[in-house]
Amino acid sequence: MRRCEALAAVSESRDYIERTYLSDSHKRANAIVEGWIAEAKAEHWQDAVGNVWGRLPSQDADSKTLILGSHLDTIVDAGKYDGILGVLMAVELLHLLRSQRIALPFNIDVVGFCDEEGVRFGATLLGSYAIADRWKDDWLDLTDVNGVSIAEAMTSFGLDSTKVSDAAIPRENLAGYLEVHIEQGPVLDRANLPVGVVTAIAGARRFNFVIEGESGHAGTVPMEMRKDALVGACLCVQEVEKAANLYDVVATVGDINCHPGAVNVVPGNVQFSLDIRSARDKTRDAAFAWLTDRFDSILNSRDLAMSWQEIHKAPSVACSSKWQRTLEKSIADCNLEVLSLPSGAGHDAMAMENITPLGMLFVRCKDGISHHPAESIMVQDVEVAMEVLMTAIIDYALGTEEV
């Protein structure tokens, strides 16, 4: 918890936490975390994309590697725990394994990923995609608000942008990936439980809708002769909530623009966004199909035209059943009720799942608040999570030996 506070002071701003990819604060945070890893007498380094690493090697030189970690970058005006908690718990685990002289049949690697949030350059999961050999060289041309490209920022940071692929880790070297993260939602808080097992990370689809009607004078066009795009959009938004309840998915219209946008003009054109997510891709797609049918019939009856564009689509990613069972058992061993839940938010784990079996443990955060400076966790919960993590790793090691 002290280390979380120390990292919270490493920011681009004096007034709030902001630690973005390839910034000065990224460099300082990596150095501090490397220092904490060094205190555990573990190996430490920074890789070709800017992730920070630590390693407690197994006795056997041919051992596979279990990676534990999360991200060290933040959003603008962030909390102290999103991502950071998972990295620092993994660092603490190195200390515990070292001090308790626990030998494992795999190397334990700790990673602090460099860009999960995608704040500076717009593309997310850059650090973990590089590890999973999913890095795209086009990304080097992405620029920040000042026109600085990733390639240029890498040079000033001290990285070689032509060598990012060196960060990739061959899948045959890996025994798994385990990430601890704050839940960022209210489910554990409501259930009054410190930790929960993640079943899958929801797959999201995002769309832009445009409804075309007819602008007109607010005083002269009779009600029955209007083609009011905003009224059509409002009815559609209500259907979004209905679809979510009907199909048990989450769906959100978070952005809406009305044109021409004047107090005395009937709205002729409305654009709105849709974000729809589920741990089950088929259910999510069925909900979307139902929704577009409903939109069609509502808008047709009002003589409004609609067009839409899909702007993002990611499949859901499942946590491995072995990790889920291992974490469930560890939680039960702590005499706690086992609660399994999907993650509605994206994580580095999504990229890592491309190369190795995935496990995720959620820690309760107060009122489910995250991506906000009021993000808050309890030290007792972190203690429980550490115990669950330690037990799970030892059990996973036993399971690995059996196989």
Give CA–CA dist 195/362, Å, rounded.
5
Task: Identify which of residues 50 and 83 has a Cβ nearer to Zn ion in the complex.
Answer: 83
Report the 10 Å Cβ neighbour count for 261: 11
Least Cβ distance, residue 119 to Zn ion (angstroms): 12
Task: Identify which of residues 83 and 268 has a Cβ nearer to Zn ion in the complex.
Answer: 83
Residues of the chain by 3-state class (helix, strand, coil), percent to 5:
40, 25, 35
The residue with its CB nearest to Zn ion is 83
For residue 238, what is the DSSP state? H
Task: Identify which of residues 82 and 239 has a Cβ nearer to Zn ion in the complex.
Answer: 82
Least Cβ distance, residue 82 to Zn ion (angstroms): 4
Phi/psi at 112 (5° precision): -110, 105
Binding status of residue 112 toward Zn ion by CB under 5 A: no
Give CA–CA dist 307/212, Å, rounded.
8
Task: Identify which of residues 182 and 243 has a Cβ nearer to Zn ion in the complex.
Answer: 182
Least Cβ distance, residue 84 to Zn ion (angstroms): 9
Task: Identify which of residues 47 and 82 has a Cβ nearer to Zn ion in the complex.
Answer: 82
Least Cβ distance, residue 132 to Zn ion (angstroms): 17
Binding status of residue 183 toward Zn ion by CB under 5 A: no
Least Cβ distance, residue 366 to Zn ion (angstroms): 16
Task: Identify which of residues 26 and 227 has a Cβ nearer to Zn ion in the complex.
Answer: 26
Task: Tokens for 204, please give them.
Answer: 């999201």
Least Cβ distance, residue 155 to Zn ion (angstroms): 27
Task: Identify which of residues 83 and 194 has a Cβ nearer to Zn ion in the complex.
Answer: 83
Per-residue contact flags (x/-) with Zn ion for residues 246 to 285, judged by CB under 5 A: ----------------------------------------
The angle at the Cα of 87, spanning 192 to 38, to the nearest 5 degrees, equals 135
Least Cβ distance, residue 7 to Zn ion (angstroms): 14
Residues 323 to 352 in contact with Zn ion, rule: CB under 5 A: none
The angle at the Cα of 78, spanning 74 to 80, to the nearest 5 degrees, equals 90
Give CA–CA dist 282/200, Å, rounded.
14
First-to-last alpha carbon distance for the chain, in angstroms, is 37
For residue 351, what is the DSSP state? H
Give CA–CA dist 55/275, Å, rounded.
39
Who contacts 366 (Cβ-Cβ below 8 Å, separation ≥6)? 189, 374, 375, 376, 377, 378
Per-residue contact flags (x/-) with Zn ion for residues 73 to 102, judged by CB under 5 A: ---------xx-------------------
Give the footprint of Zn ion on this chain (CB under 5 A). Answer: 82-83
